[in-house]
Amino acid sequence: MSQPQSQPMSPPFDGGAASAAYRNALKVIESVEPTVAGAIRSELADQRESLKLIASENYASPAVLLTMGTWLSDKYAEGTIGHRFYAGCQNIDTVEQAAAEHAKALFGAPHAYVQPHSGIDANLVAFWAILAQRIESPALAKAGAKHVNDLTAEDWETLRRELGNQRALGMSLDAGGHLTHGFRPNISGKMFEQSSYGTDPETGLLDYAAVRAAAREFRPLILIAGYSAYPRRVDFAKMREIADEVGAVLMVDMAHFAGLVAGKVLTGDFDPVPHAHVVTTTTHKSLRGPRGGMVLCQPEFADAVDRGCPMVLGGPLGQVMAAKAVALAEARQPAFRIYAQAVADNAVTLAEGLAKRGARLVTGGTDNHLVLIDVTSFGLTGRQAESALLDAGIVTNRNAVPRDPNGAWYTSGVRIGTPALTSRGFGADDFDRVAELIVDVLTGTTPSAAASGAASKAKYSIAEGVAAKTRDAAGELLARNPLYPGLELD
């Protein structure tokens, strides 16, 4: 027997009012640039007609989306609440304050900074705030100055030498870390003398003893925890112990799993906010807000974090901060906890469905919101698997696996996640069916040779009829779980 039909996890909205709002908006846009209006319409259609399994994507509510299309966009507001470099910022102060208060209440954080435009921007703010708090303050004290503007050229030269010799220790990219955790081509890998910790070669799990040993040897200023492709929980209490032992600042990037923290799925030792000195996040992904970033921190870092603009950031985006406030208000509602738990439960169902059909999973499963498939068991690269799944209407992204022989471009894995389809109301039976469809496509896909006859890491072929059959089956699932039901553009 199939499951009872689940209800969409998106916040409730008036479909008729939303339809009228978007129809009118599109008419205005179309009168100026029809191509853009057409692309907006097509994007909604594409998202409605595909199985969105990219772990870092979700669906924001119409209230969040509509908030971004307002005249708050037209105001410059460099600075912080009550201390701007432009006049007339009282309304920006209001929305920024609302977003910060919601964030503090939602996560139990002493301080929140909601200006970052993205997760990378949030990490840059955090890095420089830590450097400022740990380096500028001693420099000021040594020089007998009260403000950085009082430092002499000689003081700054000393400071620059100090800044050029800082160390950061983060999770390696192939183990599931993010490129902003010290990956050499990224600015984080150029700001710091950097080293990485990985995962156990046999289990794929974090080895805290190995992290401790690496920290003792490397003595980092910043120990970075968090991930973008690690399918397990992290014990942040242990990470804080390690940081304290070596005198490091514990910085946690929870961009991927912030929704699970907000929804109280990750608590105690697995909630980073009580344990980290500084926490960064995006506000979309599992948190289901607008594209943007945010920094939470302990009081000792608050002043430095609040200097994100103009230290690192340009002018804050008032319309996006307002949308963050709306999304965070939504996340404080009881329904969001139900949603977050469903995200985690559905990920387990998806992992079990894949494993029982023969897929090889990194770490053997999941206990967060994402699953990482090692597609070499199907004879494919990540790029081939990603492309074949897309042909069949399943949107994923290729991803490196630990010690990946195919590197970061072609990869050997595919990362999938449950936040978006859970927002549509997908439940256990739905995700088991999704697992079946994924395995059917990967089993029916074979590598193709390049034009030269050599083996290709990109070319592939799908057995006849597999893609069409999968699209039809996906269409049935999507029809039972409509996206923004009641919202019609025509």
Residues marked as catalytic: 76, 78, 253, 282, 285, 291
d(CA 45, CA 256): 26
Q: Taking Cα atoms as reference points, which of 289, 349, 279 lies closest to residue 130?
A: 279
- Give Cα separations from 318 to 88, 118, 415, 483 (angstroms): 13, 14, 33, 28
If one counts every other C-beta atom within 10 angstroms of the C-beta of residue 133, the result is 20
φ, ψ for residue 195, nearest 5 deg:
-140, 160
Cβ 132 vs Cβ 307: under 8 Å: yes
How far from 330 is each of 19, 93, 146, 368, CA to CA, in Å? 20, 20, 42, 21
Any idea of the CA torsion for 288, 293, 299, 300, to the nearest 10 degrees?
A: 150
Instruction: Report the C-alpha gap between 15 and 80 in whole angstroms.
Output: 36
Largest CA distance in the chain: 76
Which is it for the CA torsion 453, 457, 459, 464, positive or negative? positive
Task: Supply 17's token pair.
Answer: 């009012």
Can you give the C-alpha Rg of the chain in angstroms?
A: 23
Q: How far is the first Cα of the chain from the last one, in angstroms, to the nearest whole number?
A: 37
Task: State the Cα–Cα distance between residues 298 and 270, nearest whole angstrom.
Answer: 18
CB environment 288-312: b (16+ within 10 A), e (fewer): bbbbbbbbbbbeebbebbbbbbeeb
CA 476/CA 478 separation, integer angstroms: 5
